[in-house]
Amino acid sequence: MIIKTKKQISENDITDSAIFHKRRQLIKSSLVGSIAALGLFPATSSQAITRWSNVAKAKVGSSALTVTEEKIVKNYTNYYEFSYEKTQSTDLAQALTIDPWSISIKGEVEKPGQLHLEDIIKQFPMQEYIYRFRCVEAWSMVVPWIGFPLAELVKSIKPLSSAKFVKFTTAYLPEVMPNQKDTSMLEWPYVEGLRLDEAMHPLTLLAVGCYGDTLPKQNGAPLRLVVPWKYGFKSIKAIVEIEFLSRAPLTTWNKAAPHDYGFYANVNPSVPHPRWSQSSERVLGSSFFSPRRETELFNGYGDDVASLYQDMDLRHFF
Ligand SMILES: Nc1nc2c(c(=O)[nH]1)N[C@H]1C(S)=C(S)[C@@H](COP(=O)(O)O)O[C@H]1N2
Ligand SMILES: [Mo]
C-alpha cells in the first residue's frame, strides 16, 4: 500500500519539529482538544512503507506522561488470533497481509459501502496522540499513536437516527491467524463495540501508526481502534468492518466471560476483576523496584469522559 499525502509543510511546521523530539522523552497529557494542529506527513511519498515525520504544535495538559519505550510496545502484544503468548503473537502477526485493505461500512447509515485504507489516510488529517493504555491484566503503557478521531469517519458516513451503537470486527483469516481455528476459548472473528456517543468522543481514535511510523502488524495494522479510558481489549485490531446498530452488539470478551469482562470496560480501580484487583498497575518498562502505579478512574481521562456515564452505576455497568 502506498500512502500519499498532498499536505505541504510550511516553514512553521519545520521550526516546530524540534518540539516533537523533546516531546518524545517527556510528554504531557492529554486533552485531545488541546493537541493542536499536529501535522503528519509521509517523509517520501514514493516509499511503499510510509514513515510519518511529525511536527508538533502542541499545547499540553496537566499531568506528565513518560512514553513507553518503543521496543516494549512492539514486542509485548496481546493478539489472540495469533497466540496467547505475547512475544509469539508479535512474531506470528508478521504473516498478515495488510495491503490491500478495505473496511466495510454497514447497518444504520446513509452511506454504507467499502472504504479503502488509502482513501481513509488521504481523507482524514493524521495527528499524534499520546495516550495512556491500560490492559485489563493490570499492566499499562503510554503510546504515541498516529491516527484521527473515529468521530470524523462516523460523521462522513452519516449514521441514521436509529444508530445507537457501533460494532467493530477484526479480519477473519484462519489460514493466517492460527488460533481462529480454535474456538474453545474465544469466538472468531474478534468483535468489539461502543455506544455511539463513546464512538463520537474526541479521545476515541482510529490509529494507523505509532512512534512516528506505520502501525506494526502485531499492534493492529493497518487500522485499529484506540479508546484510552477503557481496558485495552476494547481497542480492537485489524478492523475490516464497522457496523451501526440500534442495539448493543455482543462483544468477544463479554460473550466469552460475562462476569469477568463487561461491555463498557471502563478502567475503574474500585471494580476488581473476579480474580485480581484493578486498583494498581504494573507500568511496562519501569524497573523491578519501582512502585506500581495507582490506577485512575477512566484511566485518568475522567474530566473528559465522566459525563458520558453520569447516571450509571459503574459497578453494574462495568
Ligand atoms: N483483534 C484483536 N484485537 C485486540 C486483541 C486481540 O487479541 N485481537 N487484544 C486486545 C487486548 S487484550 C489488548 S491489551 C490490546 C493490546 O494492544 P497491543 O498489543 O498493541 O499493546 O489489543 C486489544 N485488541
Ligand atoms: Mo488487554
Per-residue confidence band for 64, with pLDDT thresholds at 50, 70 and 90: confident
Confidence at 162, pLDDT banded by 50, 70, 90 = very high
What CATH number should be reported for the domain whose range is 11-303?
3.90.420.10
Strands (DSSP E) contained in 59-195 are 64-66, 102-107, 113-116, 127-134, 139-149, 165-170, 191-195
Global pTM?
0.85
Q: CB 241: neighbour CB atoms within 10 A?
A: 18
φ, ψ (nearest 5 deg) of residue 210 = -160, 160
Q: Which ligand is nearest to the CA of 133?
A: 1
Q: What percent of the chain has pLDDT over 90?
A: 79
Q: What are the tens digits of pLDDT across the range 230-278?
A: 999 999 999 999 999 999 999 999 999 999 999 999 999 999 999 999 9
C-alpha 78 – ligand 2 centre gap (Å) = 6
Cβ–Cβ contacts within 10 Å for residue 49, how many? 11
The reply to whether ligand 1 has any atom less than 6 angstroms from the CB of 281 is no
What's 245's DSSP letter? Answer: E
Q: Which long-range contacts (CB under 8 A, 24 or more apart) does 169-176 make?
A: 169/236, 169/239, 169/240, 169/241, 169/242, 169/243, 170/81, 170/236, 170/237, 170/238, 170/239, 170/240, 171/96, 171/238, 171/240, 172/240, 173/96, 176/95, 176/96, 176/97
Residues 107-158 pLDDT 10s: 999 999 999 999 999 999 999 999 999 999 999 999 999 999 999 999 999 9
Ramachandran angles phi, psi of 44, nearest 5°: -135, 125
Which cell goes with 90?
508479535
If you measure from the C-alpha of residue 47 to the centroid of ligand 2, how many angstroms do you get, rounded to a whole number?
33
Would the CB of 78 count as within 6 Å of ligand 1?
Answer: yes
Tens of pLDDT, residue by residue over 284-314, are 999 989 999 999 999 999 999 999 999 999 9
Nearest CA to ligand 1 atom 21: 77
Closest ligand 1 atom, residue 220 Cα = 20
- What are the residue boundaries of the structural domains of the chain, listed by start? 11-303
Q: Ligand 1, atom 12: nearest CA belongs to which residue?
A: 233
Q: Which residues surround ligand 2, an ion (CB under 5 A)?
A: 78, 135, 232-233
Confidence (pLDDT) at 10: 33
